[in-house]
Amino acid sequence: EQLLACRHISKHYHDGENNTQVLNDVSFSVSPGEQVAILGSSGSGKSTLLHILGGLDKPSQGEVEFQGQSLFGMKASELSRLRNRHMGFIYQFHHLLAEFSALENVAMPLLIGGMKESEAITQAKSMLEHVGLQHRLSHKPSELSGGERQRVAIARALVTRPSVVLADEPTGNLDHKTGLQVYNLLKSLSEQLNTSFVVVTHDNALADKMDRVLTLQDGQLSLVREGSELS
Ligand code: ADP
Ligand code: ADP
């Protein structure tokens, strides 16, 4: 049983007289709990593919299915409900709300989902403990280090217990050592919570930590490695 599948995805951008084909017949799927890395150089179409997988952008051709349901056949309200309930997003620049504390940032998706405030705060605290930030609950993003901010962003993406997290260069603005720590955290949380991860990155060392590695080049996706090299 596949969790998320894209089938024959193509994407063109029309820019005045230019017609750029970014994705050319891309198909792949993600199993429950699986960690997939998509490698590719800058401009290869990684963000475009991730946005299509998350239903944030429409392909020119092809289909994305979540648990067998077609994303682009859904009404906008259904798609947004599916995204809020079952998907988490992590970006290179954390997109935390500057005027809110770490705890409030993490509680936000639960509150938006209609959870009672006291319960949302309890769950947000527990998720921040999971990422090792129990001592930073009332800090605002500007009062946190880059690695800490990214851990808050991870806690926010996971607090709703999504089935899949889509991450776009989640460590792109961190130094290598902090980046590795953040990847190790993502990996162990994925295992503990049985959450699938699709991570796009240009960093081979980070991609190596995931279960399966694909590469995007000239609009096409190919397999680099399947199964773990580590025991
Ligand atoms: P990556 O994430 O691998 O750096 P992107 O998916 O962001 O690549 O972009 C792939 C290509 O598509 C780039 O050449 C980029 O300029 C182009 N592109 C991305 N978004 C748009 C857009 N909205 N309009 C036109 N071209 C775009
Ligand atoms: P990029 O990595 O492509 O340079 P960003 O990381 O700044 O872009 O943002 C990710 C993209 O996803 C943006 O195009 C933004 O509009 C979109 N986006 C971010 N969060 C959401 C959301 N919750 N719902 C819809 N679209 C979103």
Indicate which ligand has the atom closest to the C-alpha of 43. Answer: 1
Is residue 56 lining ligand 2, measured as CB closer than 6 Å? yes
CA-nearest residue for atom 9, ligand 2, is 91
- SS3 for 99? coil
Q: What mean pLDDT do residues 55-78 have?
A: 94
Tokens representing residue 68 in the block: 């067998």
| Residue 146, token pair as written in the block | 């880059």
Angle between helices 176-193 and 146-158 (to 10 degrees): 20
pTM of the model: 0.85
Q: What is the mean pLDDT of the chain?
A: 92
CB 13 near ligand 1, within 6 Å: yes
**CA angle (83, 13, 47) in 5-degree steps:** 40
Question: What residues form DSSP beta bridges with 15?
Answer: 18
Read off the pLDDT of residues 99-150 as tens digits, 9 standing for 90 and up: 999 999 999 999 998 999 999 999 999 999 989 999 999 999 999 999 999 9
> Is 219 a pocket residue for ligand 1 (Cβ < 6 Å)?
no
170 lines ligand 1 (CB under 6 A): no
Residue 168 CA, ligand 2 centroid: distance in Å? 9
Helices 102-112 and 117-130: crossing angle in degrees, nearest 10, is 130
Protein residue with least CA distance to atom 20, ligand 2: 89
The ligand placed nearest to the CA atom of residue 217 is 1
169 CA: nearest ligand 1 atom: 2
State the Cα–Cα distance between residues 125 and 128, nearest whole angstrom: 5
Ligand 1 center–CA 40 separation, angstroms: 12
Percent of the chain with pLDDT over 90: 72
Q: Is the pLDDT of residue 14 over 70?
A: yes
pLDDT tens digits along 136-152: 999 999 999 999 999 99
Six-digit token pair at 37? 């890395």
Work out the average pLDDT over 187-195: 90
- Can you tell me whether residue 86 is helix, strand or coil? helix
Q: With contact defined as beta carbons under 8 Å apart, do 4 and 65 qualify?
A: yes
Please work out whether the CB of residue 47 comes within 6 Å of at least one atom of ligand 2: yes
**pLDDT of the residue at 69:** 93
Q: What percent of the chain has pLDDT above 70?
A: 98
